[in-house]
Amino acid sequence: MEALGNPTRLQIYRALVRAGAAGLPVGKLQVKLDLAASTLSHHLKALIVVDLVTQERQATTLICRANYEMMHGLVDFLASECCVDGACAPSQPKGKVA
């Protein structure tokens, strides 16, 4: 959770989740998010350390992918903990404001 608490890392992770199983080459990710190479590298390392992102070298290209197994585990954990100690607020249909 701490890794995704940083806005830049969350932006990187969202881009990789949206890219699907194919992932994105580091260069395309850098251009897409308009980040300096050193900034992207720093944030990718933090996401890789907590296993939210994987990297694979294909010749001279580094492909980054969201680790969907880890993502599903995190989502499942959060869902299972929802309202354990209290009642959940009733869900509202999208677009409806209370």
3-state SS of 24-84 is EEHHHHHHHHCCCHHHHHHHHHHHHHCCCEEEEEECCEEEEEECHHHHHHHHHHHHHHCCC
The pLDDT value given to residue 78: 83
Establish if 24 belongs to a structural domain: yes
Range of the structural domain that residue 63 is part of: 3-68
Write down the pLDDT at residue 80: 86
On whether residue 62 sits in a domain, the answer given is yes
| 79 occurs within a structural domain | no
* Total of domains in the chain: 1
Q: Is residue 58 part of a domain?
A: yes
Residue 77 lies inside a defined structural domain of this protein: no
Angle subtended at Cα 45 by Cα 62 and Cα 70, rounded to the nearest 5 degrees: 90
Tell whether 63 is covered by a domain: yes
CATH code where residue 20 lies = 1.10.10.10
Asked, for residue 28, whether it belongs to a domain, the answer is: yes
Write down the pLDDT at residue 94: 63
Greatest extent of the chain over all pairs of C-alpha atoms, in Å: 54
Q: Using CA atoms, how far apart are residues 52 and 14, in angstroms rounded to an integer? A: 11
> Which mean pLDDT values do the consecutive 10-residue runs of the chain (98 residues) have?
90 96 96 96 95 95 95 87 72 59
